């Protein structure tokens, strides 16, 4: 059964969502991300995807206090990403309660550093962020497109020990028009052992069922919950059925 992982994206300490990664298309959903995290925990969620969008833009960790509050006030397993570029950023993230971190831009721009993180912390604590636009990996809070094709990019890091990958199709993220099921099928056909976490475009429980039918192991859901396309009751019922 597919795992549902709720997402909280943070700008200026507030819970927000962007459309297609555009910082100019920002909508604030809650002043306090902790309140949202508690709601997700109460709905039976065990894990949280927490993204420091300020950090992604600044190239260093920014909203670590939000991470610390959620980690100390809930029992959620938190994977944290956004702007992690140095060993010190990682130290702060783990000290503030992250169970795992996600590295995207760093894996493109500083592959030796990212590989050292895998070696130091282990693949259970380091997640590869493979976010793509038109099949090419994007970096720097999705503001820059690289020349890396997504499947060879993921395969390279699997060969270096990575077992978990979060992949967002930027073209559908925040648009509530459905996830890129075919992209995820293509990735899993090549790397069936991968714990692939789909992200972007989910608009309903039917979308999650489509991903489950495609044997995608996990999905991140954000805007669909905040826009009440997926209710907390539906989320709770799904989690209780596991």
Domain 3-240, CATH: 3.20.20.70
Task: Give the model confidence (pLDDT) of 60-85 as tens digits.
Answer: 999 999 999 999 999 999 999 998 99
Whether 12 sits among the annotated catalytic residues: the reply is no
Report which of 91, 45, 36 is spatially closest to residue 66, judged by C-alpha positions. 36
Provide the token pair at 235.
């989320």
DSSP H or E segment with residue 102: strand 100-103
Measured CA to CA, the distance from residue 188 to residue 116 in angstroms comes to 26
- Kindly list the distances between the CA atom of residue 219 and the CA atoms of 12, 105, 232, in Å, as whole numbers in the listed order: 26, 21, 16
Whether 131 sits among the annotated catalytic residues: the reply is yes
Q: What is the pLDDT of residue 142?
A: 59
Q: What is the pLDDT of residue 135?
A: 83
DSSP H or E segment with residue 9: strand 3-11
Write down the catalytic residue from 9, 52, 54, 79: 9
The rounded Cα 51 to chain-centroid distance in angstroms is: 7
Find residue 97's DSSP bridge partners: none
Write down the catalytic residue from 52, 131, 169, 173: 131
**Where are the domains positioned within the chain?**
3-240
Q: What is the pLDDT of residue 150?
A: 95
| pLDDT tens-digit profile, the chain (242 residues) | 899 999 999 999 999 988 767 788 889 999 999 999 999 999 999 999 999 999 988 889 999 999 999 999 999 999 999 989 999 999 999 999 999 999 988 999 999 999 999 999 999 999 999 988 888 898 765 566 678 999 999 999 999 999 999 998 887 766 678 899 999 999 999 999 999 999 988 999 999 999 999 999 999 999 899 999 999 999 999 999 87
Provide the token pair at 17.
């969502």
pTM of the model: 0.92
């Amino acid at each position: 059964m597919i795992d549902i992982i709720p997402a909280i994206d943070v700008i200026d300490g507030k819970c927000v969502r962007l459309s297609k990664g555009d910082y100019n298309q920002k909508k604030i959903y809650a002043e306090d991300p902790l309140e949202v995290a508690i709601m997700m925990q109460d709905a039976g969620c065990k894990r949280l995807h927490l993204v420091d969008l300020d950090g992604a833009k600044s190239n260093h960790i920014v909203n670590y206090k939000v991470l610390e509050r959620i980690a100390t006030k809930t029992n959620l397993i938190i994977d944290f990403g956004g702007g992690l570029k140095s060993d010190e950023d990682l130290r702060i993230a783990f000290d503030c309660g992250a169970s795992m971190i996600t590295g995207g831009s760093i894996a493109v721009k500083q592959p030796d550093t990212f590989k050292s993180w895998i070696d130091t912390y282990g693949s259970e604590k380091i997640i590869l962020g493979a976010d793509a636009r038109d099949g090419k990996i994007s970096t720097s809070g999705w503001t820059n497109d690289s020349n890396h094709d997504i499947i060879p990019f993921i395969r390279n890091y699997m060969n270096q020990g990575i077992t978990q990958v979060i992949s967002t199709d930027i073209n559908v993220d925040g648009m509530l028009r459905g996830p890129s099921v075919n992209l995820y099928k293509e990735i899993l056909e090549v790397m069936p052992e991968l714990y692939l976490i789909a992200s972007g475009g989910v608009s309903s429980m039917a979308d999650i069922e489509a991903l489950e039918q495609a044997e995608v192991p996990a999905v991140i859901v954000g805007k669909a919950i905040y826009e009440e396309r997926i209710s907390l009751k539906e989320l709770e019922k799904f989690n209780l059925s596991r």
